[in-house]
Amino acid sequence: MSMHLPPYQPLPPPDKDSELLQVAIADLHPTQMCVGLAEVRSRQIDFSQESSKQRQRYLRGKPVPLARSGSGELWMVDRHHRLRGLIELDPEAQAFGYVVLQLDSPDRHVMLEELRERGWLYLHDGRGLGPLAPSALPQRLTGLQDDPYRSLVWKLKKEGMIEPVPLIPFHEFRWGAWLRRRPLPPFSSSRLEPALPAARALVRSSAASHLAGWKPPR
């Protein structure tokens, strides 16, 4: 198993003067193989407690970075967890996005290669196996596997153990790849508690200081 993740280009932030695209979530192609289902379920609870107006305002404030091919197909380079949670609640749901990569070619292979070269694909599966071929990516959000290490990192970020770094693609997976090489007791996305004490100590240790978002112990 190789979990060395490639170099990357930072994701451009949205231009404040550009109009956002409104897109059907069901039409978006993912750029990763898996999600942490603990975060997906948490997002679903949040969405279920919001009004339609509150949801739209929230989604406008969290636009999706998009890559668009010459045929108009769209790949999402972030926001997989919140939109996976939302589409399970509402298959007709829409989100807002902004274009970070526009290609003239309609060829899907060309698009995937451009994304791969920028480090904008995460090609390891839910068990950390990979990198797989870009063609192995699921066509839709609902086809993403569960990765319990991604769930674990989400929980650690929520606790303030890791700082957010929003413009680094697949930032949480990079932490998850590092944790996979450390000894942790058995856990799952629905039962993170057994791994949390050891994981908290690991992510605050000096051994993790090279990772973006590291917070030194107080």
Q: Can the peptide bond before residue 131 be classed as cis, meaning omega within 30 degrees of 0?
A: yes
34-35 and 145-146 strand pairing: parallel
% pLDDT > 70, the chain: 98
> Tell me, what's the pLDDT at 2?
39
What's the pTM value of the predicted model, to 2 decimals? 0.94
Q: What distance in Å separates the CA atoms of residue 36 and residue 10, rounded to the nearest whole number? A: 22
> How would residue 3 be classed by pLDDT, with cut points 50, 70 and 90?
low
Tokens, residue 201 = 């100590």
Task: Kindly tell me the sign of the dihedral angle through the C-alpha atoms of 25, 81, 190, 148.
Answer: positive
> Taking 60 as the threshold, does the pLDDT of residue 162 lie above it?
yes
Backbone angles phi, psi at 143, to 5 degrees: -95, 5
User: Which domains occur in the chain, in start order?
Assistant: 21-146 (3.90.1530.10), 148-208 (1.10.8)
Distances (CA, A) of 173 to 47, 72, 184, 218: 24, 28, 17, 25
Please give the average per-residue pLDDT across 164-189, as a whole number. 95
Helix (H, G, I), strand (E, B) or coil at 104: coil
Can you tell me the mean pLDDT for 142-169? 96
- The one-letter amino acid code at 198 reads A
What does each C-alpha distance from 32 to 47, 51, 57, 119 come to in angstroms? 22, 29, 26, 11
- Whole-number CA gyration radius for the chain: 17
Q: What is the arithmetic mean of pLDDT over 129-152?
A: 96
pLDDT tens, position by position, 58-117: 999 999 999 999 999 999 999 999 999 999 999 999 999 999 999 999 999 999 999 999
For residues 176-204, average pLDDT: 97
- Banded model confidence at residue 166, pLDDT cuts 50, 70, 90: confident
Question: What is the structure's pLDDT at 4?
Answer: 63
Query: In the structure, what pLDDT confidence band is assigned to residue 7 with cuts at 50, 70 and 90?
Result: confident
The C-alpha atoms of residue 71 and residue 191 are separated, in whole angstroms, by 42
